[in-house]
Amino acid sequence: MSLTRRSALAMTVAAGAAAAVLAGAFPGASAAPTPTAPTAQQSASYVYRVTGGVARAEALLREGFDVLEERQGGDLFVMGSAEVGARLRAGGHRASVEQVLPPVAWAPPARSGQAAVLDAAAAEETYAGGYRTVNAQYAHLDQVARDHAALATVVDYGDSWRKSRGSGGYDLKAICITKKNAGDCALSTAAPKPRLFVMGQLHAREITTGDVAYRWIDHLTDGYGSDSQVTTLLDTTEVWVVPIANPDGVDIVQRGGSYPYLQRKNANNGNGPSCGTTGGSSQVGIDLNRNTSSGYGTGSSTSPCSETYRGPSANSEVETKALQSLWRSLYRDRRGTGTGAAAPADTTGMVISMHSYSNMVLFPWGFNSAVKSGNDSSLRAIARQMASLAGGWRYGQPGEILYNAGGATDDWVYDDLGVSSFVWEIGNPSGNCSGFTPAYSCQTSLYWPKVKGMLLYAASKTARPYAG
Ligand SMILES: [Zn+2]
């Protein structure tokens, strides 16, 4: 009952937002795209519980369902509209409604693509109740580098798919934060300090992760000189942050405005131009966390409109290649070939890929949990501590607590370079503050305080993750 009432309220606010658009609240530079009144996400989304064992995951993925990164015993969870529920049952799956996710009300940003000038106005752009747009995140990076020139350097490490095609899009941007001395923040594997790399929104709709990245950047740059833990950290460690690894995808998400489109993938429509462009269960793009050459092909789909479409070939996407090139310019390769080869105890560095949701810490190998990495005991011990700091999250290889998935960036980082790598699935699996688009207040009250401790711990392990 209460769900019905909340939905009705959200719809009323939505109608107001749509009316504002029609009344010309977005005066219009002709270059700006026509703001789209919310449609696809205007009705509630559902989380379906699918019973019948974890072996069902491969079938569900093959059939194109949006299988969430969550598992309870043998039960899996699929997200989608009311129509998806009907399709699950028609396909012979035993599915029940686990949760109804009402839409969130907030005005949509007025523009798409990278702003010509990342000014103060760009820095204020938000959607869904306070989440920063891509332009706001990029304006923030520039502002931080201006305000803290001794600490921060912005690096443009490539172009998004749309930009690479000359059709809007964005630069791909990172920020390097440390107390800068000679050689720091250089694109060189000979840099003097160990490097912690933190990435958000590779999956565009996982909007909690971009917000965590934003706060982490501020925590470091504002805390240097006053917070002794931060000061020591930046004196000894380089911290790299990519707040939005998939800006084209986030552009689609924020275009939903009041009702963020649940776009997971990038915007490459070269393989299935008839897929939807509003983040529905048939959506355009390639899953950037199934596209790498490490374990490419398992736990993913060959169907272009699927949420887990792996792309036409391994490492096919410009966003994938740009990240790989950046990582290779930051980290020396310390690992031999073969899935069991260990990187040595004096290997430095760590990569955290932040995702949402379901309160889990994952580490390689993701493509097959029956295969243990050569650094399994160290990775597992660090994951256990991260999970403990988060208040008791689950941890393990993906296949141990979720399902096998190949082609992920975290597997690639460890596979190619031997660098320790982790995935955090930030967010309650159900109830308060769960879902891809939790109320913005959840970031302040719940997720930032929790993840801050995990990030500081990760930084403390970056110099010698395999030493103990
Ligand atoms: Zn994800």
- Kindly give the distance from the C-alpha atom of residue 120 to the centroid of ligand 1, in angstroms, as a whole number: 30
Single out the residue in 101, 128, 143 at which a domain terminates.
Answer: 101
**What pLDDT sits at residue 26?**
27
Evaluate if residue 36 carries a pLDDT over 60: no
Q: Are residues 157 and 87 in the same domain?
A: no
Same domain, 435 and 349: yes
Per-residue pLDDT, averaged over 105-120, amounts to 81
Identify the domain containing residue 437 by its residue range.
120-461
The mean per-residue pLDDT over the stretch 105-127 comes to: 84
- Residue 120's identity, in one-letter code, is A
Q: Would 436 be classed as within a structural domain?
A: yes
**pLDDT tens for each residue of 122-138:** 998 999 989 999 999 99
Q: Does one domain contain both 434 and 357? A: yes
CA of 195 to the centre of ligand 1 (A): 23
Q: What is the mean pLDDT of the chain?
A: 88
349 and 433 together in one domain: yes
- Where is average pLDDT lowest: 117-131, 233-247, 361-375? 117-131
Higher pLDDT, 445 or 409: 409
The reported pTM is 0.82
Measured in angstroms, how far is the CA atom of residue 68 from the centroid of ligand 1? 9
Q: Is 12 helix (H, G, I), strand (E, B) or coil?
A: helix
Mean of pLDDT values over 18-32: 29
Question: What's the 3-state SS for 105-149?
Answer: CCCCCCCCCCCCCCCHHHHCCEECCCEECHHHHHHHHHHHHHHCC
Would you state the pLDDT for residue 105? 56
- Give yes or no: residues 70 and 132 share one domain: no
pLDDT at residue number 61: 85
In a domain, 142, yes or no: yes
From ligand 1's centre to the CA of 223, what distance in Å? 29
Find the 285 Cα to ligand 1 centroid distance in Å. Answer: 14
Helix or strand or coil: residue 360?
Answer: strand
Per-residue pLDDT tens for 440-466?
A: 999 999 999 999 999 999 999 999 999
> Is the separation of the CB atoms in 465 and 229 below 8 Å?
no
Rounded CA gap, 364 and 380, in Å? 9
Distance 204 CA to ligand 1 centre (A): 8
| Å from CA of 217 to ligand 1 middle | 21
Report CA(203)–ligand 1 centroid distance (Å).
Answer: 5
Ligand 1 centroid to Cα of residue 234, in Å, is 28
What is the Cα–Cα distance from 322 to 239, expressed in whole angstroms? 18
Q: How far is the CA of 397 from the centre of ligand 1 (A)?
A: 15
217-242 burial: b if 16+ Cβ within 10 Å, else e:
bebbbeebeeeeebeebbebbbbbbb
How far, in Å, from the CA of 287 to the mean position of ligand 1? 9
Q: Which residue has the tokens 């990519």?
A: 242
Task: Please report whether residue 408 resides in a domain.
Answer: yes
Does the residue 14 lie in any domain?
no
* Domain presence at residue 25: no
From the CA of 407, how far away is ligand 1's center (Å)?
13
- Cα(169)–Cα(132) distance, rounded to whole angstroms? 17
User: In the predicted model, is pLDDT for residue 230 greater than 90?
Assistant: yes
Kind plus residue range of the DSSP H or E element containing 387: helix 376-389
- How many angstroms separate the alpha carbon of residue 154 from the centre of ligand 1? 25
Say yes or no: 162 and 267 in one domain: yes
Distance 206 CA to ligand 1 centre (A): 6
Q: Tell how far the Cα of 138 is from the centroid of ligand 1, in angstroms.
A: 21
For the chain, how many residues are written? Answer: 468
- Whole-number Å distance, alpha carbon 364 to ligand 1 midpoint, is 15
Q: How far apart are CA 266 and CA 251, in angstroms?
A: 10
Distance 207 CA to ligand 1 centre (A): 10
pLDDT of residue 368: 96
- CATH (domain of 285): 3.40.630.10
CA of 117 to the centre of ligand 1 (A): 30
Residue 90 and residue 137 share a domain: no
Residue 409 located in a structural domain? yes
**CA 82 – ligand 1 centroid, Å:** 23
Q: What's the CA gap between 433 and 144, in Å, rounded?
A: 29
My answer on whether 222 and 363 are in the same domain is yes
Percent of the chain exceeding pLDDT 70 equals 89
φ/ψ region of 378 (left if φ > 0, alpha if ψ in -120 to 50, else beta) reads alpha
Do residue 59 and residue 130 come from a single domain?
Answer: no
Quickly tell me which residue has 């007025």 as its tokens: 110
CA of residue 402 to ligand 1 center, whole Å:
13
Q: Is 392 exposed, middle or buried (0-12, 13-18, 19+ CB in 10 A)?
A: exposed
Give a yes or no: residue 192 inside a domain.
yes
**C-alpha dihedral (292, 293, 298, 302), degrees to nearest 10:** 70
> What are residue 360's DSSP bridge partners?
394, 425
63-72, 258-267, 391-400: least confidently modelled range: 63-72
| Residues 77 and 164 both lie in one domain | no
**At residue 108, does pLDDT exceed 80?**
no
Q: Which pLDDT score is estimated for 16?
A: 31
**Is 113 among the domain residues?**
no
- Computed on alpha carbons and rounded to an integer, the radius of gyration of the chain in Å comes to 21
pLDDT digits (tens, 9 = 90+) for 164-193: 999 999 999 999 999 999 999 999 999 999
Query: Dihedral (C-alpha) 38, 40, 43, 49: value to the nearest 10 degrees?
Result: -140
How many angstroms separate the alpha carbon of residue 214 from the centre of ligand 1? 18
| Ligand 1 mean position, distance from CA 199 (Å) | 11
Q: What is the mean pLDDT of residues 32-40?
A: 36
> Is 150 within 8 Å of 180 (Cβ atoms)?
yes
Cα(406) to centroid(ligand 1), Å: 13
Which range has the worst mean pLDDT, 39-53, 58-72, 310-324? 39-53
Span from the CA of 5 to the centroid of ligand 1 (angstroms): 30
147, pLDDT greater than 70: yes
46 touches 79 (CB < 8 A): yes
Residue 80: CATH number of its domain: 3.30.70
Task: Please say whether the dihedral angle defined by the alpha carbons of residues 80, 435, 77 and 62, taken in this order, is positive or negative.
Answer: positive
| 20 CA distance to ligand 1 middle (Å) | 33
Q: How far is the CA of 202 from the centre of ligand 1 (A)?
A: 7
- Please tell me whether residues 248 and 221 are part of one structural domain: yes
CA 445 to ligand 1 centroid distance, Å = 22
Has residue 106 got a pLDDT over 80? no
State the distance from the centre of ligand 1 to the C-alpha of 57, rounded, in angstroms.
16
Do residue 176 and residue 63 come from a single domain? no
- What's at 299, amino acid-wise? G
Type of residue found at 348: T
The tokens of 344 are what?
A: 């040595």
Number of domains in the chain: 2
Decide: helix, strand or coil at residue 220.
Answer: helix
Strand partners, 132: 126
